[in-house]
């Protein structure tokens, strides 16, 4: 059955005739949680009968449509194009920075960008036919930002590795960064596992288990972001004992601080949105609101990927950069390895 473009205007114009009404009554017999099993005629019936003169049919069709549609709305064609372009431009910039800096841990950021672009490609296909791309975009857009978090942790490791180990008395930069990476990797495994179950066209119970796993994964990621943010803040409080300029934007240390705080804020916003969305089910009011997805997930992640460009170690941390003065004050390193400015401060304080 050809219906032309799947728009509300076309649905209203088609009208809910007796044939479509009969098909809609047939669609009501398909278990709502199955997510599959509707014929194209039944699909078109639910699409069109929302404007039936029969108020009961119209009410039932409006209730069933989000389940058949899955999106619950028509994905924006224009924003899908914008999102793919935005993530693509940032990815190209990251490729350039990766080649110049050879900091291979930033491959995680490129992986996240590729996943985000794929997710928005799925939504672009859904904008032309809402029967396409739903599970694919759900899985990719849920998992993708996890890889951006890896870029933030790589940045912190690169910065902290050039500072005095005394600022991290319990764990050194490497041990702490690996601990956070492991936690983040666990969230990836949980979310990917949930996404695979949800997209496997299995029984409704399997689908529900997949969604629960994705919810747990996003909640774990939110918790990891909060733990890292608290640790990062106290790390800089220690750093400020030897460098009063570490919060100033004109310094690389200040740019890393405020950039990281901004990125972690975006992760908290995004994690809160995704956790709330998945916890109430895929057909709750949050999941069926496209503006919520754009403002609660996509815009924050676009900010994150460009902030990762802006404070990339290639620009903010020199490969040959020596440790700060705190290293010498604590008895690590040697006096002749510091910068002239640091040595002058050291000699002046001695």
Cα separation of 235 and 250, whole Å? 20
Residue 55: the pLDDT is: 82
In a domain, 52, yes or no: yes
Q: Check whether residue 150 and residue 112 sit in a common domain.
A: yes
Higher pLDDT, 159 or 341: 159
Most confident listed range (14-28, 75-89, 167-181): 75-89
Q: 72 φ, ψ to 5°?
A: 85, 0
Is residue 232 scored above 70 in pLDDT? yes
In a domain, 203, yes or no: yes
Q: Check whether residue 246 and residue 269 sit in a common domain.
A: yes
pLDDT grade for 197, boundaries at 50, 70 and 90:
confident
Residue 329: the pLDDT is: 39
Residue 204: the pLDDT is: 67
* C-beta atoms surrounding 348 within 10 Å: 7
Query: Where is the domain boundary, 34, 69, 104?
Result: 69
Is residue 209 scored above 90 in pLDDT? no
Burial class (CB in 10 A: 0-12, 13-18, 19+), 247: middle
Give the number of domains in the chain: 2
Among 22-36, 91-105, 281-295, which is the least confidently predicted range? 22-36
* C-beta atoms surrounding 114 within 10 Å: 16
Q: Check whether residue 82 and residue 65 sit in a common domain.
A: no
pLDDT grade for 39, boundaries at 50, 70 and 90:
low
In a domain, 339, yes or no: no
**Distances from the Cα of 186 to the Cα of 171, 193, 265, 315, angstroms:** 20, 10, 21, 30
Q: Check whether residue 33 and residue 120 sit in a common domain.
A: no
Residue 341: the pLDDT is: 37
pLDDT grade for 95, boundaries at 50, 70 and 90:
very high
Query: Where is the domain boundary, 22, 46, 69?
Result: 69
In a domain, 192, yes or no: yes
Q: Check whether residue 52 and residue 89 sit in a common domain.
A: no
Higher pLDDT, 149 or 185: 149
What pTM does this model have?
0.75
In a domain, 326, yes or no: no
Is residue 13 scored above 90 in pLDDT? no
List the structure tokens of 241.
């004992």
Overall average pLDDT of the 275-301 stretch: 87
Most confident listed range (197-201, 225-229, 329-333): 225-229
Q: Check whether residue 53 and residue 164 sit in a common domain.
A: no
Residue 263: the pLDDT is: 95
Among 120-124, 174-178, 264-268, 332-336, which is the least confidently predicted range? 332-336
Q: Check whether residue 145 and residue 40 sit in a common domain.
A: no
Closest CA to 234 of 171, 276, 297, 280: 171
Q: Check whether residue 49 and residue 140 sit in a common domain.
A: no
Overall average pLDDT of the 205-225 stretch: 83
Closest CA to 24 of 68, 87, 77: 68
Q: Check whether residue 118 and residue 228 sit in a common domain.
A: yes
Overall average pLDDT of the 178-186 stretch: 82
Overall average pLDDT of the 140-165 stretch: 84
In a domain, 336, yes or no: no
Most confident listed range (34-43, 56-65, 227-236): 227-236
Q: Check whether residue 102 and residue 209 sit in a common domain.
A: yes
What mean pLDDT, rounded, does the chain reach?
A: 77
pLDDT grade for 93, boundaries at 50, 70 and 90:
very high
In a domain, 137, yes or no: yes
Cα separation of 248 and 61, whole Å? 58
Cα separation of 343 and 350, whole Å? 10
Q: Are 264 and 224 in contact (CB under 8 A)?
A: no
Half-sphere exposure of 326 (CA within 13 A, CB side): 18
% of the chain beyond a pLDDT of 90: 23
Among 95-104, 207-216, 254-263, 267-276, which is the least confidently predicted range? 207-216
Overall average pLDDT of the 202-218 stretch: 78
Is residue 179 scored above 90 in pLDDT? no
Q: Check whether residue 52 and residue 140 sit in a common domain.
A: no
In a domain, 3, yes or no: no
Q: Domain range for residue 42?
A: 8-69
Residue 28: the pLDDT is: 63
Overall average pLDDT of the 264-290 stretch: 85
Q: Check whether residue 154 and residue 223 sit in a common domain.
A: yes
For residue 124, give the CATH number of its domain.
1.20.1070
pLDDT grade for 11, boundaries at 50, 70 and 90:
low
Residue 212: the pLDDT is: 83
């Amino acid at each position: 059955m050809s219906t032309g473009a799947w728009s509300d205007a076309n649905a209203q114009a088609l009208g809910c005739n007796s044939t479509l009404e009969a098909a809609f009554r047939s669609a009501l017999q398909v278990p709502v949680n199955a997510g599959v099993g509707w014929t194209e005629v039944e699909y078109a019936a639910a699409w069109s009968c929302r404007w039936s003169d029969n108020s009961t049919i119209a009410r039932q069709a409006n209730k069933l449509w989000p389940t058949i549609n899955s999106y619950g709305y028509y994905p924006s064609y224009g924003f899908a194009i914008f999102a793919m372009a935005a993530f693509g431009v940032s990815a190209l910039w990251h490729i350039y920075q990766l080649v110049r800096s050879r900091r291979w841990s930033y491959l995680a950021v490129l992986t996240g960008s590729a996943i985000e672009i794929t997710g928005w490609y799925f939504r672009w296909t859904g904008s032309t036919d809402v029967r396409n791309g739903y599970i694919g975009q759900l899985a990719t857009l849920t998992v993708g930002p996890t890889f951006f978090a890896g870029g933030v942790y790589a940045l912190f490791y690169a910065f902290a590795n050039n500072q005095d180990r005394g600022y991290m008395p319990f764990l050194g930069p490497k041990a702490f960064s690996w601990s956070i990476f492991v936690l983040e990797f666990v969230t990836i495994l949980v979310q990917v596992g949930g996404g695979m179950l949800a997209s496997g066209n299995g029984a409704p119970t399997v689908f529900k288990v997949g969604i629960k796993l994705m919810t747990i994964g996003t909640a774990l990621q939110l918790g990891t972001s909060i733990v890292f943010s608290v640790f990062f803040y106290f790390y800089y409080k220690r750093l400020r004992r030897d460098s009063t300029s570490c919060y100033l934007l004109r310094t690389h240390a200040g740019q890393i601080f405020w950039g990281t705080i901004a990125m972690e804020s975006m992760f908290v916003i995004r994690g809160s949105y995704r956790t709330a969305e998945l916890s109430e089910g895929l057909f709750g009011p949050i999941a069926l609101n496209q503006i919520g997805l754009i403002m609660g997930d996509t815009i924050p992640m676009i900010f994150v990927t460009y902030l990762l460009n802006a404070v990339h170690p290639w620009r903010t941390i020199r490969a040959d950069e020596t440790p700060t003065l705190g290293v010498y004050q604590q008895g690590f390193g040697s006096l002749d390895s510091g910068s002239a400015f640091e040595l002058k401060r050291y000699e002046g304080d001695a």
